[in-house]
Structure 1
Amino acid sequence: MLSILKRTLPVALLAGCAATNPPPPPDFTSYVVLGEYGAAVARVLIDAPACPEITINQHSQAMTLRAPAATIALRSTPSAPADSKPAEFPLLTCETTLPAGATSATVLGRALPLPKAEPRRIVVLGDTGCRLQKSSNSYQACNDSAQYPFAAVAAQAAAWKPDLVIHVGDYHYRENACPEGNAGCAGSPWGYGWDAWDDDFFAPGARLLDAAPWIMARGNHENCLRGGQGYWRFLDPRPLLKGRDCNAAADDDVGNYSDPYAIPIGQSTQLLVLDTANTTWKGLKPGDTGYAKYRDLYRKLEALAQQAPRNIGIDHHPLLGMGADRKADGSIVLLPGDAGLQASFGSVNPQLFPASIQAMLSGHVHLWQQASFSSAHPSQFIAGFAGTSEDIVPLPEQLPAGVTPAPGAVVEHFSSWVDGFGFMTLERRSADQWDVEVHDLQGKIRNRCQLDGRHSVCEVAQVK
């Protein structure tokens, strides 16, 4: 009998310990995204049998399943079938809309960032993924934090203690496999499933996701041919609808477009979020699906803009910014704003934007830029310099006479930073006035600007 007790007593003790000390919860990703009229949606991505509970103001409730774990059948992509694969999402996407005025929210013991009715400190960044693209033979060194520094950018931005984060689109860039023998990206996941999304955005951006709620604009890397499935699962604040999920190419005319929405931020000001994922720099013309879709987008944008005397627009593709390219002979050609949106928006309003929009926040061009106009156009800021391969063709300190990003736009002030990683911040000073700062990887301020109504001016014309 004694020998039996000696063998069974430790088992009983271990069972007792297990009862009082349950295993730790599984690893998970959590964040808060703002949607229509400022509604805050808590999201959790987790490998578990069911969605966890969320505790809001000390009251617990089950989260709702947004999307189950699934492997999506291979669909058309920009790559050949041999360089593509089905998108695997081996975890649940769970969500809960947070009530206005919530004072606390936690999931599995982790606190979620809560929105402020009047956010004063705002981080703006975009184009954050690590480029792996066979068609352009472009393979960024994802394993080198100096050449792919989004984690450092996100950490510095979090240290700035923002009330709100705005991502201007292009989260996902790991489209194709890293070539054999390339140490810079060796071992990187690729394709449009969770593993690539995690390495490109959620893991390096974790500290900033914990710091504040986010506004998640959509870029061309999230259209249905590319990372659209992940965008609709993870980032868009609205309900996930069958047919709008980018899972089937036959539904792309639905999944590639969505309505704009407004987020009030106090002092009679709104942020207006536009989905421009499927426009094209080649231009759009009457009869094109995108031409009609973006004309409709403009009309809905105009209706939203009438709800407040001042608005700041957010989209991925700048209509009022400049890019640069180098020709085969070495000469530089300056590139105007997105031709597709200029054609469709311009057919409704030649000024391109409603008069109550004071500034546009965009990405797509992989640099930082500011432009202000003596014509009746909003200021344009571009913040596409947070992680992906930088544009390195230099821009001039001053645009040559007659060079303009859009028909009828007369540039008054122009500033840029080419070939430097970082993030931009907005800090509110009054109803119409914002301080704008450009930060580098170490958090150092490299340029300061003031936005006053539609006009802006910076201390430095060209950051060196």
Structure 2
Amino acid sequence: MNSIKPSLPRKALSRFLMISSVLATGLLLYGCGGGNSVIKQASNVNADASIKAAWVVVGANNQAIARVVTSELSCPKIRNGSVYFPMTLRAAAGTIPQRKTASDAVDSKPSVFPLTACEYSIPAGTSSLTVGSFSLPLPKANPQRIVIVADTGCRMKKADQAWQACNDGDAWPFPEIAKTAAAMKPDLVLHIGDYHYRENVCPDDIAGCKGSPWGYGWDVWQADLFKPAAPLMAAAPWVVVRGNHEECRRAGQGWFRFLDTQPYDAKRSCDNAANDDIANYTEPYAVAIGNDTQVIVFDTSKVGKKAIPNTSEVFLKYQAQFKTVNQLAAKPGVHSIFTNHHPILGFVPVPGKAPLPGNPILQEVMQSVNPTAYYPAGVTTAIHGHVHDFQAISFATNHPATFVSGNGGDDVDVNFADPFPTNASPAPGVIVDKFSHTSAFGFMVMDRQADGTWAYKAYTRKGLLLTTCLQNGNKINCDKTGYLAPN
């Protein structure tokens, strides 16, 4: 029997047979009704494998922005309804050379961002938005429930010999807080600053934080914010306020890559210390929450603790910005909630001593613009972080009700004395009427009432209600005053 020789070379024949086998398998799947679904599933798997986080932030003029970080060099497409749109590059992956930081050079290192940051401005009227298999939350025109957190990261700071047990859910409860708050189904999340705390390497002999990432790169941002906050980022869009931990000598690089709502710019990236005087200051803006309420976002990331001359550059910058606040708060019939990280008419607890008043620099600047009230008339509420406790203060004088919600995860401060000193004042000319407080870990919730006003509620980390404060004008009345026991 004569053998039949192939008309193709052996290697070509082998390649032909392999391709034929693959095509046959694909046709078989397609014939079973699975062809398109297999392709789509593979695409989603690939997208999910590369996308490490996806979330929505809301900026000036209520512009909602979808953000993702991906291990791919190019940005993914995002699905708006049934149509796919390309996301735009915000910041490319890269390693930023070591710059001067708040720590000694030996305790610092270059910031490594191995992921690409991408964004997409969400058009008004969008009904659904997905990227990969991530379904992104969309802003509501009239939010009914707002979760408020601040100071959420895990502290690792050599200068203070502060080594929080980041590996212990009891010692660092932000993951629990985020999960508890997400279960309350908020329409919006308001974070009042200090997302990042793991600045220096944990010593080998401290088990609570041993092996934790440190520095200012993506790995710390993932550990301090994006991984623990994932349930809360999936639940609602975020309004983000910058804290002092996000100033340029600290975690400012990640702040601008991931959270800041303005267009990304090299001079406003904190990569080059020569531009810090630009990047450490952001113009205030307002976010409407319904027709009758707005949140004014103010950046005090670089404010210090001591009074400064009223002719200094910093004073004049803040003064101009507070004049902008006056303009933002001048909308008739709109209740303005002023948010910044550092308490202005709040208190700072000191172990065994009288409490300290609010930030003196901000008070002096604000008095130069609004001599007696500190705030413009349109501001009836102020919300802060920075001090690691909860405070709800109503004043006998004509000043806006003040809340501090800095108990979101970082080491909490000591409790204030109970009863609270009757002669304590947070600022000249300001008289306290009612004061509720605790240093238990937790968060706040704003719930819109039937009459359109807001109820401000303080919760423990596990969702136990501590107090409810109802507002009338710039006064609040909490159902519990003094020290709030977390039992």
State the TM-score bracket (shorter-chain normalisation).
Answer: over 0.9
What is the Cα deviation at residue 288 of structure 1? 2.8
Q: Distance in 2 between matches of 1:300 and 1:321?
A: 22
Query: What TM-score do the two structures reach when normalised by structure 2?
Result: 0.90
8 Å CA contact 1:432, 1:453 repeated in 2: no
Matched, 1:240 2:264: yes
Which residue does 1:378 correspond to in 2? 400
8 Å CA contact 1:433, 1:453 repeated in 2: no
What is the Cα deviation at residue 213 of structure 1? 0.4
8 Å CA contact 2:73, 2:92 repeated in 1: no
SS in 1 for 2:203: coil
What is the Cα deviation at residue 220 of structure 1? 0.3
Which residue does 2:377 correspond to in 1? 355
SS in 2 for 1:341: helix
Which residue does 1:325 correspond to in 2? 350
Letter in 2 for 1:411: V
8 Å CA contact 1:269, 1:308 repeated in 2: no
SS in 2 for 1:324: coil
Count how many residue pairs are aligned between Structure 1 and Structure 2: 458
What is the Cα deviation at residue 287 of structure 1? 3.3
8 Å CA contact 1:372, 1:413 repeated in 2: yes
8 Å CA contact 1:267, 1:431 repeated in 2: no
What is the Cα deviation at residue 268 of structure 1? 2.4
Runs of 4+ in 1 over 3 A off after TM superposition: 4-21
Letter in 1 for 2:423: G
Please give the residue correspondences for 1:44-55 in structure 2 after superposition, counting only pairs within 5 Å. 44-55=68-79
Letter in 1 for 2:196: H
What is the Cα deviation at residue 241 of structure 1? 1.6
SS in 2 for 1:76: coil
**Which deviations, in whole Å up to 9, do the C-alpha atoms of 1:283-302 show, x marking residues without a partner?**
23223332111101100111
Q: Distance in 1 between matches of 2:423 and 2:148?
A: 30
Which of 400, 421, 425 lines up with 1:400 in the alignment?
421
Which residue does 1:141 correspond to in 2? 165
Change (3 A) 1:14 1:158: farther
Q: Distance in 2 between matches of 1:12 and 1:132?
A: 58
SS in 1 for 2:142: coil
SS in 2 for 1:342: helix
Q: Distance in 1 between matches of 2:365 and 2:95?
A: 36
Change (3 A) 1:354 1:303: same
Which residue does 2:185 correspond to in 1? 161
Letter in 2 for 1:440: T
Matched, 1:411 2:436: no
Which of 61, 68, 87 lines up with 1:63 in the alignment?
87
Change (3 A) 1:347 1:431: farther
Gaps of at least 5 residues in structure 1 are: none
8 Å CA contact 1:367, 1:391 repeated in 2: yes
Q: Distance in 1 between matches of 2:441 and 2:320?
A: 35
Which of 324, 341, 364 lines up with 1:343 in the alignment?
364
**Which deviations, in whole Å up to 9, do the C-alpha atoms of 1:432-463 show, x marking residues without a partner?**
62111111122111222112221112122211
Change (3 A) 1:273 1:431: farther
| Identical amino acids, percent of aligned pairs | 42
SS in 2 for 1:334: coil
Which residue does 1:274 correspond to in 2? 298
**Which deviations, in whole Å up to 9, do the C-alpha atoms of 1:136-164 show, x marking residues without a partner?**
00000000011011110000000000000
Which residue does 2:202 correspond to in 1? 178
Q: Distance in 1 between matches of 2:264 and 2:451?
A: 35
**Which deviations, in whole Å up to 9, do the C-alpha atoms of 1:332-354 show, x marking residues without a partner?**
23111111111111122122111
Q: Distance in 1 between matches of 2:349 and 2:237?
A: 33
Which residue does 2:232 correspond to in 1? 208
Which of 425, 429, 437 lines up with 2:457 in the alignment?
437
Letter in 2 for 1:264: A
Change (3 A) 1:287 1:104: same
Q: Distance in 1 between matches of 2:421 and 2:52?
A: 51
Letter in 2 for 1:298: F
Matched, 1:463 2:487: no
Please give the residue correspondences for 1:21-40 in structure 2 after superposition, counting only pairs within 5 Å. 21=39, 22=42, 24-25=45-46, 26-40=50-64
8 Å CA contact 1:434, 1:452 repeated in 2: no
What is the Cα deviation at residue 10 of structure 1? 7.8
Bigger Rg over Cα = 2
Q: Distance in 2 between matches of 1:417 and 1:12?
A: 71
Matched, 1:85 2:106: no
Change (3 A) 1:318 1:76: same
Worse-matched range after superposition: 356-365 or 432-441? 432-441
Q: Distance in 2 between matches of 1:212 and 1:72?
A: 31
8 Å CA contact 2:51, 2:68 repeated in 1: no
Which of 287, 310, 316 lines up with 2:341 in the alignment?
316
Letter in 2 for 1:145: G
Query: What TM-score do the two structures reach when normalised by structure 1?
Result: 0.94
8 Å CA contact 1:221, 1:227 repeated in 2: yes
SS in 1 for 2:225: helix
SS in 2 for 1:118: coil
What is the Cα deviation at residue 49 of structure 1? 2.2
Worse-matched range after superposition: 275-284 or 397-406? 397-406
The alignment yields a C-alpha RMSD, in angstroms, of 2.1
Q: Distance in 1 between matches of 2:18 and 2:479?
A: 71
Gaps of at least 5 residues in structure 2 are: 5-10, 30-34
**Which deviations, in whole Å up to 9, do the C-alpha atoms of 1:295-348 show, x marking residues without a partner?**
01100111111134321111111101111112xxxx323111111111111122
Which of 388, 412, 422 lines up with 1:366 in the alignment?
388
